[in-house]
Structure formats: C-alpha cells, structure tokens
A and B are shown apart, each in its own frame.
Chain A
Amino acid sequence: MKFVDEFRDATLIRQAAAEIRRLADSGRQYRLMEVCGGHTHAIYRFALKDLLPDNIELVHGPGCPVCVLPMGRVDDGLSIAGDPNVILTVFGDMMRVPGRNGTPLEHKARGADIRMVYSPLDALKLAQQNPGREVVFFAIGFETTAPSTALTLRRARALGVRNFSVFCNHVTIIPAIRAILDSPDMRVEAFIGPGHVSTVIGCRPYEFICRDYGKPLVTSGFEPLDILQSVVMILRQLQAGTSYVENQYARVVPWDGNLPALRAMAEVFELRPYFEWRGLGFISQSALKLRDSYAEWDAESRFQVPGVRVTDPKAAQCGEVLKGVLKPHQCKLFGRECTPERPVGALMVSSEGACAAYYNYALRTTAAAAV
C-alpha cells in the first residue's frame, strides 16, 4: 500500500526540510496553523519542529472535538446514563473526559452501564441484542465522524430499531476556523488543512479563507513527508503572494468530497443555531442536531437532559492556545495543575489535544526550560 513508507523516507524528508529552509525568508516570521489534532500529534511524535527553521512556528488549532466539548455536555450525557434502563455507549476517547463529578469511566465504576464502542454501528447492534434496554450513543466528532452516525441512524430507521438513540455533539470545522480568523488577536498566516475531514467535505468549503482573508490553505496527509510538503506548498504561496486552496493529500482527498456521505449527513442532520466550544465560546451554526424527521432517535427528545453549563476555570488559557496567541507551555496551569492525568483545560483532555501532545512529546525539549 502506497501510504506509509514513501512518506517516511529519510532522504525525501531531508530534501523537503532543505527546500523549506531555502524558501523561508530569514527576515520574516511565519505562523502556520495546523487545524487538526492528528497533525499536532504527528508534528510532535516525529519531532518535525526540529526540522523547521526557528522563524516557522506551527500553531495548534481547534481540531480536537473531545477537547472542545464543554464539560456541561459531558454531564448531560452522564445524566442520561443515570437511568438504570440505559446503556450509554461512547468512543474510547470519551471514557476519561471529566464531567463535574468524574469521567464516564468513573461513573461506570460507580455502577452506570457505560460501554465503549468502536463504531456507532456497534451501538446499534447492542440495541438489537438488548431489546429491553435503551441504548444511547454519545456522538462526537467533526465531519470525519458525522457520516458514520448518519449512516447508523439511517439503518436504525430502516431496521425499525426503536430502543436506540443518539446524543448528538457533532461539530463542524468551518465555523471554528472562521471564528479564529475573526478573532482580533488572530496572527496566523496560513493553514494546514485537515486531511480526513476533507475526504468528506472536499476542498471547496475552505475557499473563503483564501478569497476573503487572503490566507493560503493546504489540505495535508499525516505522515512526516506529507506535513513537510504542505509547509513547502504554503511557503511557495506566501513567497508568490498568492492565497488559494491546494490539496497535498490528493491520494485520499477528492476536491468535491464524498457526495454519498454528504447526502447522508444532509438527510439526518441540520445545523444548531449555536453551540458552545470550550476555549472558544459560543459559535453560531457550528454544530449538528438531528432533523425533526429523526426526532424519534434523538436522545435529547427522548430523555430529560438538564442542559448543564459549567464555566471553564478562569486560570486555564485554552482559548489563547487555540487561537495561537500562546504556546501550550505558556499557560499558567500547564504541567502543574493541568496534566494529562488530571486535565483542567480542554486541550489537555485528549491525547490529540495541543497541550497533551506538547506535554507528552515536547516537554522534555522546548518546554522544559519554561516549566
């Protein structure tokens, strides 16, 4: 399979790094945002920062749905699990995300029936196997994940499975990027675009970033050479003074996205008027809910959901890190009160969160001096 070895080839990586050094103007500071948590993780895991000149700074974006989910929504989901007839199903990522009174894992230890699933389709199977129980799927994720939930709901309807419902927390990437672009302290010059979100939505939805804000965007794969090639493509655009969408990950990302997946999402979901993001606040039309035609499978219609609001700790500076104003280690809580074992802020929650990635991979080097 042509996916890994070529994109980890040391010679090619050295060539790309040399090209980056050749293209980067030493008198200029570059700030490039990788939108996606997977890119953040790869950048630290492969120590790509060490291959870049000092004047190229990679800023970590909001692309971690678990991190940006407000604590109140976790509590809402856990309150559904308080019903003894409910089996709450969650992705593994969610099991250690804290609500006010503990994580789903801790609630499970106290007796709630919370089970980990790999796919929403597994949650549907569980409902079929347990006709006397209510099975609720805690849906979370960007456009990479939302089609899987849409497909599951279509199948639930087709199969007539009535004891299955979805607690929907799907968010959409474009409004979050727009919120960052509209932020007064925004200092990003270009974007490394998400790879697999783009497999679904394609490249066209990013065109406004280049047209209206004058920022280049390159959708990128996740191997070291993918990311370095994307930086090369961005530098070439910045050098030429152009801003358009380019597709480095063409082996996977079709320009128009995946139409059957987009159709399924449009059939099942509609935009919420607004949704809260940890660290970014309320963003209009940035999340999905089930359409009325699927209300029967909507856990928010079927169960009493308290609508918990939890204010983020004031000392945590997640918003500034998300917008690229601060590096993770510059937050007052980083590595002291806020660690991957005991996360306080949003970005320490998931292993793909900017602060968790920074803590796990970069603490020993760059951040060590500052902590």
Chain B
Amino acid sequence: MCTLDQDGCTTCGDVAVPARVLQVEGNSAHVIDRAGNAAEVATDFVPGVRAGDVVMVHMGVAIGRADETL
C-alpha cells in the first residue's frame, strides 16, 4: 500500500492513497496517512468532507471518499 511520501508511479499505478482528514479549511484539508505523513489536499471533489473522514488522495487532490464500513 502506498503512502503519501512513497507512492511509486502514481499516474501508471492508478494510485490513490487513503488518508484521514484532520481539519478542513475552505476547499482544502489537512490529512494524514497510515504511515503518519501529513499533507494538504484539495477537497473540491469531496463536498461536505469532515474531520475524521477517510479520503483517497491522488496528486494532491482528494478524488473520492473511502467507506470503512465496507
């Protein structure tokens, strides 16, 4: 599983990294991945995202949400 600091060939690997949202500010969020790497990501494509949610991060943009109950 990739992390925010080591995600291989991101375009070819169809890579998105799960990261938990710590804080949302406008259309960006502070997130942290399972290895503890923090990043700021754009949240335009995950409207209504809140602290505690898990988002899939690709190239600095949250491209979707992850449902931990499934």
Chain A residues with CB under 8 Å of B9's CB are: 37, 41, 64, 66, 93, 350-352
Distance of A30 Cα from B67 Cα, bound (Å): 32
Distance of A350 Cα from B1 Cα, bound (Å): 18
8 Å CB interface, A133-147 against B: 140-142, 144-145, 147
16 contacts between A and B (CB under 8 A): A2-B68, A37-B13, A93-B9, A120-B60, A142-B11, A144-B58, A145-B59, A196-B15, A199-B56, A200-B63, A200-B64, A222-B1, A260-B46, A261-B64, A264-B44, A352-B9
Chain A residues with CB under 8 Å of B15's CB are: 38, 144, 196
Check if B1 sits within 8 Å of A66, measured CB to CB: no
Check if A36 sits within 8 Å of B54, measured CB to CB: no
Interface size bucket, A side?
35 or more
Chain B residues with CB under 8 Å of A144's CB are: 11, 14-16, 58, 63
With most chain B CB atoms within 10 A of its CB, the pick from A121, A222, A252, A353 is A252
Interface size bucket, B side?
20 to 34
Residue A285, interface by CB 8 Å? no
Q: Which residues of B are in contact with A by a Cβ distance under 8 Å?
A: 1, 8-16, 18, 20, 34, 42, 44-47, 54, 56, 58-61, 63-64, 66-68, 70
**With A41-B8, A63-B12, A350-B12 as given contacts, are A148 and B61 in contact (CB-CB < 8 Å)?**
yes
Tally inter-chain residue pairs, CB-CB below 8 A: 140
Check if B58 sits within 8 Å of A251, measured CB to CB: no
Chain B residues with CB under 8 Å of A65's CB are: 11-12
Instruction: List the B residue with the shortest CB-CB distance to A170.
Output: B11
List 3 tightest A-B contacts by C-beta distance, closest first. Answer: A119-B60, A352-B12, A38-B13
Chain B residues with CB under 8 Å of A159's CB are: none
Residue A18, interface by CB 8 Å? no
Check if A3 sits within 8 Å of B1, measured CB to CB: yes
Check if A120 sits within 8 Å of B59, measured CB to CB: yes
Distance of A120 Cα from B14 Cα, bound (Å): 16
* CB of B48 to closest CB in A, whole Å: 10
Mark each residue of chain A from 196 to 209: 1 if its CB lies under 8 Å from any CB of chain B, else 0.
11011000000000
